[in-house]
Structure 1
Amino acid sequence: MIEQSWFWLILGALLILSEFFITGIVAIFFGVGAILVGIATAVGLLDSLPEQVLSFSVLSVGSLLFARERIKIWFRGNVSDRWDGDRDLIATRGERVTVTRGFSQGVGQVRLSGADWKAECEDGDLAEGDIAWVIGHRGITLLVSANRPEHSHDHSAS
Structure 2
Amino acid sequence: MFAELFTDSALWLLLGFLLIISELFVTGLVAVFFGIGAVVVGLLALFGLVTSLTTQLWLFGIISLLSLFAARRRFQRWLRGSVGDAASGQMSSGERGNRVTVLADFVDGAGPVQLRGTKWDAESTEPLKAGDSAWVQGNRGIVLIVSTTRP
Q: Which TM-score tier does this pair reach, normalised by the shorter chain? A: 0.5 to 0.7
- 8 Å CA contact 2:102, 2:114 repeated in 1: yes
Q: Is the 8 A contact 2:104 2:131 kept in 1?
A: no
In the alignment, is the contact (CA less than 8 A) between 2:95 and 2:136 conserved in 1?
no
The CA deviation string for residues 80-138 of structure 1, in whole angstroms up to 9 with x for no partner, is xxxxxx7351xx1xx653212543332222124444443212244x45x3314337334
What is the rounded CA distance, in whole Å, between the counterparts of 2:30 and 2:42 in structure 1? 19
Residue 108 (structure 1) aligned to one of 87, 108, 111: 111
Query: Does 1:36 pair with 2:40?
Result: yes
Identity of aligned residues (%): 35
Residues paired across the two proteins, number: 131
Q: Distance in 1 between matches of 2:105 and 2:23?
A: 37
Aligned to 1:130: 131
**Is the Cα contact below 8 Å between 1:26 and 1:68 reproduced in 2?**
no
Q: Which runs of 5+ in 1 are unaligned?
A: 77-85, 154-158
TM-score by length of 1: 0.53
Instruction: Give the TM-score, by structure 2 length.
Output: 0.55
Give 5+ residue unaligned stretches, structure 2: 80-92
Q: Secondary structure of 1:105's partner?
A: coil
- Say whether the 8 Å CA contact 2:99–2:136 is kept in structure 1: no
Q: Residue 50 of structure 2 is aligned with which of 33, 45, 50?
A: 45
Which residue number in structure 1 is paired with residue 17 of structure 2?
A: 13
Q: Is the Cα–Cα contact under 8 Å of residues 132 and 144 in structure 1 kept in the other structure? A: no
Q: Distance in 2 between matches of 1:100 and 1:18?
A: 40
Query: What does residue 144 of structure 1 align with?
Result: 146
* Aligned position for 2:94: 87
**Aligned pair in 2 of structure 1 residues 54, 135: CA closer, same or farther (>3 Å)?**
closer
Q: Secondary structure at the match of 1:111?
A: strand
Cα 1:121–1:29 shift into 2, 3 Å: same
Separation in structure 2 between the aligned mates of residue 59 and residue 120 of structure 1, nearest angstrom = 49
Pairing of 1:66-85 with structure 2 (within 5 A): 67-68=70-71, 72=75
RMSD of aligned residue pairs (Cα, Å):
4.1
